[in-house]
Structure 1
Amino acid sequence: MPPSETPLTPARILEATEDVLRRYGPAKATVVDVARALGVSHGSVYRHFRSKTALREAVTARWLDQEHDTLSRIARGKTPATERLENWLLTLFAAKRRKAGVDPELFATYLALASENSETVARHVETMLDQLTTIVENGIASGEFTMRDARATARALWDATTRFHDPVYAPRWSDPDMDPAFAAVCELLVDGLRAR
């Protein structure tokens, strides 16, 4: 089926936008380029996304949200909180590292878009903090952790692991000392949370 005969959906537009961003970068990619890639008029794209900014925000949100389900399942799991915390942090780091390595063009684009869309990034961070808070709350309830303020503890965990999930640090994620450094930070954090 030619592109123009395939139903135009927001998901299809976002996929095409990612391809266009990979090809041209965030500075040069236009809604017209996206429409051309889809075989539709740019007005058709605007029916789903009212502006170029809205389209870019949606692409950024989609890119950030790709790991939310996996991380949410880990956070809500039934294993001990210490095990879930380590698994959650490792999964987040692996996902960010994979994105930076497998799709460097889109990763670079994401960095540019994220700096433009601070609300989208803030929502992503809040989602991540909610998941960490769930793990900490479960750890407190089970007696594994001694902390009193689950949200403040989640924020401290997020901040302490910034080097392993903030895209600013992506150029170092492939360094040979990164895995041992990650393991050492996780061990320190989990040990610090444990009830004595």
Structure 2
Amino acid sequence: MPPAAAEPLTPERILETTEEVLRRFGPGKATVVDVARALGVSHGSVYRHFPSKAALREAVTDRWLAKSVVVLERIASAPAEAAPSKLEAWLGALFEAKRQKAGADPELFATYTVLLAENSGVVDAHLTQLIDQLARIIAEGVAAGTLAAPDVPAAARAVFDATGRFHDPQYAADWISPTIVPEFEAVTSLIIRGLRA
């Protein structure tokens, strides 16, 4: 049953409903009309907030990706934590966030994998945010003498690339393996030992 028409139509409400519609119909079949119908409004009302289907899908993708960035930013910004511990916690939180999204809602995760391929600008901005967070952590470690990296941005990118199996959606099938956690811990440990050298 659609929500009461008296409830204000906000971008956030549209995005929440779009997630539900995507979960139900998938990215290939979900339309703006489906979203409007679920909201109990005309599709023109949705277009007043999002000028096109592509803009709506891009906003949904950005919203989904932003949820993990907030958690990771808290770790990256923690003032009292030593950089090696912070780096380990950050990598672990990224891995856990991706595993949680894939395992808790596989239909929506599969939908977002399709949307991610469509929205390279949103994805590029997300990846830049993540690598910037890593660079800040590594730079803190270099400044404190707990990590060594002659080129901090290159080191951050290398760490991100080296851990790709644990956060890139193309490897999601691996994340349910009974050996994935020890494999993640081994890679993380190797990275941190390498940065301490």
Give the TM-score, by structure 2 length.
0.97
Distance (whole Å) between structure 1 residues aligned to residue 136 and residue 185 of structure 2: 22
What does residue 10 of structure 2 align with? 9
Of 91, 96, 104, which residue of structure 2 is paired with 1:94? 96
What does residue 121 of structure 1 align with? 123
TM-aligned CA deviation for residue 3 of structure 1: 2.6
Give the TM-score, by structure 1 length.
0.98
Amino acid across the alignment from 1:40: V
1:149-176 Cα shifts (integer Å, max 9, x gaps): 1111000000000000000000110101
8 Å contact from structure 2 (residues 131, 160) kept in 1: yes
TM-aligned CA deviation for residue 73 of structure 1: 1.1
| Secondary structure of 2:176's aligned partner | coil
Distance (whole Å) between structure 1 residues aligned to residue 69 and residue 169 of structure 2: 17
Distance (whole Å) between structure 2 residues aligned to residue 145 and residue 137 of structure 1: 8
8 Å contact from structure 2 (residues 83, 141) kept in 1: yes
Asked if residue 109 in structure 1 is aligned to residue 137 in structure 2, the reply is no
Of 133, 138, 160, which residue of structure 2 is paired with 1:136? 138
Q: How many residues align?
A: 195
Structure 1 residue runs of 5 or longer lacking an equivalent are: none
Distance (whole Å) between structure 1 residues aligned to residue 55 and residue 5 of structure 2: 22
> Which aligned pairs between 1:68-87 and structure 2 lie closer than 5 A?
68-77=69-78, 78-87=80-89
Structure 2 residue runs of 5 or longer lacking an equivalent are: none
Moved more, 144-153 or 27-36: 144-153
Distance (whole Å) between structure 2 residues aligned to residue 150 and residue 76 of structure 1: 17
- RMSD, aligned CA: 1.0
What does residue 175 of structure 2 align with? 173
Amino acid across the alignment from 1:109: T
> Which aligned pairs between 1:159-170 and structure 2 lie closer than 5 A?
159-170=161-172
What does residue 152 of structure 1 align with? 154
Distance (whole Å) between structure 1 residues aligned to residue 39 and residue 126 of structure 2: 28
What does residue 51 of structure 2 align with? 50
Distance (whole Å) between structure 2 residues aligned to residue 17 and residue 170 of structure 1: 23
TM-aligned CA deviation for residue 2 of structure 1: 4.5
TM-aligned CA deviation for residue 4 of structure 1: 1.3
Distance (whole Å) between structure 1 residues aligned to residue 3 and residue 114 of structure 2: 32
Moved more, 144-153 or 9-18: 144-153
Moved more, 134-143 or 62-71: 62-71
Distance (whole Å) between structure 2 residues aligned to residue 73 and residue 142 of structure 1: 20
